[in-house]
């Protein structure tokens, strides 16, 4: 099943009257259960593409369809609601809520979805156990290592049962051990639970794990390799 | 909502020093506001009560023409009718008939224009507080002929002392010039220097002997309480329609006017204090929003809608005020409780205060409704203070959370 589909997706930034095409007519299709890495040099348009797919940025031209729904025509509030229900985000800087514990961070997104307290408790604990943080439920982000924080971020992204997870450079701030643990965990989720992951990355370790690697340069796909 | 409140509460303690500073400024601002208001109310009330006690009383009755040019020919006709009416009114605590004249007081060195008040010493004692304000001598207890009470300020001006001889000159009811020698039996001091300088008291019997008339020009009466003044005033106005009946607000409109002005003035003081506070709150909340722009952007990115983000910032702002305001009010109430019993001694500026009819000790007081008024004000101003930082938070682009990795 096709989860993500972009058609002639284009983003043009205007800088001092000079137009820069960050993303240039990209046609892309991601199937459910894929483990895809978007790679390319800095400024190639990876993050812009991810932002548009995640509904965080609007396109200049073209469209994005998520699970058959064209999100390009949604209003800002509709997009927020759409993201809440359909997309999980993992950021490079983890971006956990510092005043909440690991469990509360995972619960928070379910709270926004309106799930009951019992459901939130059960699911958040199960997810944190799944990412190997059973003993860190009540720890705040500043009591966790970078790798542990990123695992909480993954658990949070999965908590809303999204159609797919967008991860922008998720391993950029992690040491090799934490990177390896995180990637193994995400690969296992992908294999066992068919969770769809879409990464943007520079990290060769992520690229090595990915089953599909899309290379972007100057806003265009120059290579789309399946393994 | 519970989690949003929990996050908001914890957020304000992320930078405890900053939160303590802004809460502290709210506490101090509200405390200062309450205290200034209580002090001003106390000051004004003291001025009013002092005027009522020492000179004007609650209600006065005159001949309808008397106040046009204060001519002694306009005396009260049929005083027995007035007396009967006053004696049957339960709201009236005491009353005194007075003879009033304008004249000159002369000592061997100086003269001064004065208001001569002829009184019945026992009756007057129940209406005014002159007897308790004596700084020297006694209250007409001297056996000497023609005793007179003069104010301390006038005594200084005339350079006279206790038992000094002075001469009063005035016109009788037939406009003849009459003079009489009097001896100072007492020197009084009220809270109003100008009053002390321009008013003297002699006994009705002495005055009436000089002017060869047994008439009175004024009845001063005191009600049981300030609350009794209005009904008594309206009743007397109807019953004694042939006379001029005036309550203290009409006799001394500046006192009543001061009450009204005071309310507006104190409202403005509170608004100014609250305005200063909201700038502090806005500044603090803007810093908080600016520092947490990635976090707020992330919240919007993962699906927290803008109304919830707005509510989060609003709640944080309210927490700052809700901690500070009750503490400020408590501190204010405590200060007023303590100072309303002991008073605040302003002897250092005593002369200045007395020139406008105030004593050295001020007793702050405040009506309970004022605390409610402050609570409403804090709520409104906090809401205003929260709007700008909240709008800033709403303008954050969620992409910022991803871009600023």
DSSP string, B201-218: EEEHHHHHHHHT----SE
Note whether B295 contacts A83, CB cutoff 8 Å. no
Task: Name the DSSP letter for residue B56.
Answer: I
Record: contact B14-A54, CB cut-off 8 A? no
pLDDT at position B245: 94
Residue B168 CB neighbour total at 10 angstroms: 23
Question: What does the pLDDT read at residue B401?
Answer: 52
Residue A102 to residue B12: CA distance in whole angstroms: 20
> Chain B 13-42, CB below 8 Å of chain A: which residues?
14
Split at pLDDT 50, 70, 90, the class of B399 is confident
How far away is chain A from the Cα of B382, in angstroms, using its nearest Cα?
Answer: 24
The DSSP call for residue A115 is -
Nearest Cα residue in chain A from B294: A95
User: Does any CB of chain A come closer than 8 Å to the CB of residue B3?
Assistant: yes
The separation between the first and the last C-alpha atoms of chain A, rounded to the nearest angstrom, is: 19
Chain B: give the shortest CA distance to residue A141, in Å: 13
pLDDT single digits (tens) B301-355: 888 888 888 889 999 988 988 899 999 999 999 999 999 888 888 777 766 666 6
- Of the candidates B3, B294, B397, the beta carbon closest to that of A95 is on B294
How far from chain centre, in Å, is Cα A21?
23
Q: Which of B160-164, B227-231, B265-269 has the lowest mean pLDDT?
A: B265-269
Residue A184 has pLDDT above 70, yes or no: yes
A158–chain B nearest CA distance, Å: 11
User: How confident is the model over B207-211, as a mean pLDDT?
Assistant: 86
CA–CA separation, B210 and B180 (whole Å): 7
Inter-chain touch B405–A54, beta carbons under 8 Å:
no
Measured CA to CA, the distance from residue B179 to residue B253 in angstroms comes to: 34
| pLDDT the model gives residue B405 | 36
Distance from CA of A82 to the nearest CA of B (A): 8
| Interface contact flag, A47 B402, Cβ < 8 Å | yes
User: Cβ separation of A99 and B304 shorter than 8 Å?
Assistant: no
- Is B399 near chain A, with CB under 8 Å? yes
> A134-146 b/e with 16+ CB inside 10 Å = b?
eebbebbbeebeb
For residues B155 and A75, give the distance between their C-alpha atoms in angstroms, rounded to a whole number.
87
Percent of chain A with pLDDT over 70: 100
Q: For residue A29, give every residue at least 6 positions away whose Cβ sits within 8 Å of its Cβ, in sequence order, or none.
A: A2, A4, A5, A6
pLDDT value at B404 more than 60: no
All residues of chain A having their beta carbon less than 8 Å from the beta carbon of residue B396 are none
CB-based contact B303 A100, cutoff 8 Å: no
Helix axes A76-86, B306-342, angle to 10 degrees: 100
Domain ranges of chain B: 2-52+256-403, 64-242
CA distance B90 to B5: 59
Cβ–Cβ below 8 Å for B295 and A92: no
Average of per-residue pLDDT across B79-107: 92
Are β-strands B199-203 and B244-247 bridged in parallel, bridged antiparallel, or unpaired? unpaired
B12-30 average pLDDT score: 89
Q: In Å, what is the CA distance from B5 to each residue of A159, B9, B23?
A: 22, 6, 18
Query: Which residues pair with residue B103 across a beta bridge?
Result: B114, B170
Q: What is the pLDDT at residue A205?
A: 86
- Kindly report the backbone phi and psi dihedral angles of residue A59, in degrees, each rounded to the nearest multiple of 5, phi listed first: -95, 155
Domains along chain A with CATH numbers: 35-44+77-226 (3.40.50.300)
Which chain B residues have a beta carbon less than 8 Å from that of A112?
A: 302-305, 308
Q: Taking 50 as the threshold, does the pLDDT of residue A172 lie above it?
A: yes
Closest approach of chain A CAs to the CA of B13, in angstroms?
9
d(C-alpha A174, C-alpha A154), whole Å: 14
Q: Give me the DSSP letters along chain A.
A: -EEEEEEEEEEEEEETTEEEEEEEEEEEEEETT-EEEEE-STTSSHHHHHHHHTTSS--SEEEEEETTEEGGG--HHHHHHHHHHHEEEE-TT----TTS-HHHHHHHHHHHHT--HHHHHHHHHHHHHHTT-GGGTT--GGGS-HHHHHHHHHHHHHHT--SEEEEESTTTTS-HHHHHHHHHHHHHHHHHH---EEEEE--HHHHHH-SEEEEEETTEEEEEEE-
Q: Does B54 score more than 90 pLDDT?
A: no
Q: How far is A173 from chain B (nearest CA, A)?
A: 9
- CB–CB of A91 and B401 under 8 A? yes
Neighboring chain B residues of A51 at a CB cutoff of 8 Å:
399, 402
| B contact test, residue of A95, A115, A149, A172 with most B CBs within 10 A | A95
Is B302 near chain A, with CB under 8 Å? yes
Distances (CA, A) of B346 to B39, B221, B262, B352, B362: 12, 31, 20, 10, 7
Task: Kindly state the average pLDDT of the residues A143-161.
Answer: 88
Alpha-carbon B150 to chain mean position:
27
Q: Judge: A83–B301 Cβ closer than 8 Å, yes or no.
A: yes
**Partner residue opposite B295 with nearest CB, options A51, A97, A109:** A97
Contact B191, B357 (CB under 8 A): yes
Instruction: Choose the closest CB to B403 out of A47, A98, A104.
Output: A47
Per residue in B121-133, pLDDT tens? Answer: 899 989 988 888 8
User: Which residues from chain A sit within 8 angstroms of residue B302, using beta carbons?
Assistant: 83-84, 89, 109, 112, 156, 160
How far, in Å, CA of B156 to CA of A180, rounded? 99
**Structure-token pair, residue A145:** 């290592």
Q: Is the dihedral of CA B41, B44, B49, B50 positive or negative?
A: positive
Give A118-142 as a 3 state SS string: HHHHHHHHHHHHHCCCHHHCCCCHH
Taking CA–CA distances from B402, the nearest residue in chain A reads A91
Residue (of A88, A83, A124) closest to A106 by Cα position: A124
Please calculate the CA angle B34-B37-B363 and round it to the nearest 5 degrees: 100
Number of residues in chain B: 405
Alpha carbon B86 to its chain centroid, in Å, reads: 29
B302 and A98 within 8 Å at the Cβ level: the answer is no
Determine which helix (DSSP H) or strand (DSSP E) holds A222, and give its type and residue range. Answer: strand A220-226
* Min Cα–Cα distance to chain A from B29, Å: 30
Mean pLDDT of B159-187: 90
Which residue in chain A has the smallest CA separation from B305?
A80
Q: Are B372 and B71 within 8 A, CB to CB? A: no
Q: With 70 as the cut, is the pLDDT of residue B15 above it?
A: yes
CA–CA gap between residue A94 and residue B386 (Å, rounded):
28
Of A76, A93, A156, the CB nearest to B405: A93
Contact between residue A120 and residue A103 where contact means Cβ atoms under 8 Å apart: no
Q: Look at residue B166 and give its three-state secondary structure.
A: strand
pLDDT of residue B130: 86
CB B290 within 8 A of CB A72: no
Is residue B97 over pLDDT 90?
A: yes
Please give the Cα distance from B93 to B105 (Å, whole number).
Answer: 33
Dump strand ranges (E) for B293-402.
Answer: 344-345, 361-362
Indicate the residue of A50, A97, A172 with minimum beta-carbon distance to B7.
A97
Please tell me what DSSP assigns to residue B132.
G
Phi-psi region of A45 (alpha: psi -120 to 50; beta: other; left: phi over 0): left
State whether residue B337 sits within 8 Å of chain A by CB. no
User: What does the DSSP 8-state code read for residue B184?
Assistant: E
Q: Over the Cα atoms of chain B, what is R_g?
A: 31
Residue B62's pLDDT band, with cuts at 50, 70 and 90, is: very high
The alpha-carbon gap from B1 to the nearest alpha carbon of chain A, in Å, equals 9
**pLDDT of B391 above 80:** yes
């Amino acid at each position: 099943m096709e989860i993500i589909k972009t058609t002639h997706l284009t983003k043009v930034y205007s800088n001092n009257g000079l137009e820069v095409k960050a993303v240039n007519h990209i046609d892309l299709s991601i199937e459910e259960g894929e483990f895809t890495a978007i790679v390319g040099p800095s400024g190639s348009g990876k993050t812009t593409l991810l932002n548009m797919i995640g509904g965080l940025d609007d396109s200049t031209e073209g469209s994005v369809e998520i699970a058959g729904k064209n999100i390009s025509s949604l209003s800002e509030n509709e997009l927020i609601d759409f993201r809440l229900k359909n997309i999980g985000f993992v950021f490079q800087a983890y971006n956990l809520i510092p005043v909440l514990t690991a469990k509360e961070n995972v619960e928070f997104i379910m709270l926004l979805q309106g799930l009951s307290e019992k459901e939130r408790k059960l699911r958040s604990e199960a997810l944190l156990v799944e990412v190997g943080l059973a003993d860190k439920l009540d720890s705040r982000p500043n009591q966790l290592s970078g790798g542990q924080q990123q695992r909480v971020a993954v658990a949070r992204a999965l908590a809303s049962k999204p159609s797919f997870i967008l991860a922008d450079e998720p391993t950029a701030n992690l040491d090799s051990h934490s990177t390896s643990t995180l990637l193994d965990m995400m690969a296992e989720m992908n294999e066992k639970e068919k969770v769809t992951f879409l990464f943007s990355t520079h990290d060769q370790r992520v690229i090595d794990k990915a089953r599909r690697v899309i290379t972007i340069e100057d806003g265009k796909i120059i290579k789309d390799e399946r393994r | 909502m519970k989690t949003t409140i929990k996050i908001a509460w914890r957020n304000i303690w992320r930078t405890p020093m900053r939160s303590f500073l802004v809460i502290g400024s709210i506490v101090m601002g509200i405390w200062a506001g309450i205290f200034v208001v209580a002090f001003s109310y106390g000051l004004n009330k003291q001025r009013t009560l002092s005027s009522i006690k020492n000179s004007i009383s609650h209600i006065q009755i005159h001949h309808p023409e008397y106040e046009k040019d204060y001519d002694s020919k306009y005396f009260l006709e049929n005083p027995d009718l007035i007396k009967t009416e006053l004696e049957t009114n339960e709201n009236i605590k005491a009353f005194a008939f007075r003879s009033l004249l304008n004249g000159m007081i002369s000592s061997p060195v100086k003269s001064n224009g004065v208001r001569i008040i002829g009184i019945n010493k026992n009756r007057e004692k129940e209406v005014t507080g002159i007897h308790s304000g004596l700084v020297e001598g006694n209250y007409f207890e001297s056996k000497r002929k023609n005793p007179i009470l003069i104010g301390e300020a006038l005594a200084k001006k005339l350079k006279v002392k206790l038992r000094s001889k002075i001469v009063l000159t005035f016109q009788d009811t037939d406009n003849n010039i009459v003079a009489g020698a009097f001896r100072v039996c007492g020197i009084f001091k009220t809270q109003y220097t100008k009053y002390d300088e321009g008013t003297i008291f002699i006994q009705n019997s002495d005055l009436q002997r000089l002017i060869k008339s047994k008439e009175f020009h004024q009845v001063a009466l005191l009600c049981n309480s300030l609350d009794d003044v209005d009904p008594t005033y309206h009743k007397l106005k109807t019953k004694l329609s042939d006379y001029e009946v005036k309550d203290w607000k009409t006799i001394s409109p500046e006192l009543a006017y001061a009450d009204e002005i005071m309310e507006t003035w104190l409202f403005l003081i509170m608004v100014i204090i609250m305005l200063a506070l909201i700038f502090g709150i806005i500044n603090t909340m803007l810093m908080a929003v600016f520092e947490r722009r990635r976090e707020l952007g992330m919240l919007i990115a993962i699906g927290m809608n803008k109304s919830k983000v707005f509510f989060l910032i609003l709640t944080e702002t309210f927490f700052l005020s809700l901690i500070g305001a009750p503490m400020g009010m408590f501190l204010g109430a405590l200060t007023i409780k303590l100072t309303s019993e002991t008073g605040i001694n302003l002897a250092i500026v005593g002369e200045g205060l007395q020139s406008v009819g105030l004593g050295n000790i001020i007793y702050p007081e405040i009506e309970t409704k004022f605390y409610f008024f402050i609570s409403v004000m804090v709520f409104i101003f906090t809401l205003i203070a929260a709007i700008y930082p909240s709008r800033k938070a709403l303008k954050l682009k969620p992409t910022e959370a991803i871009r600023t990795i």
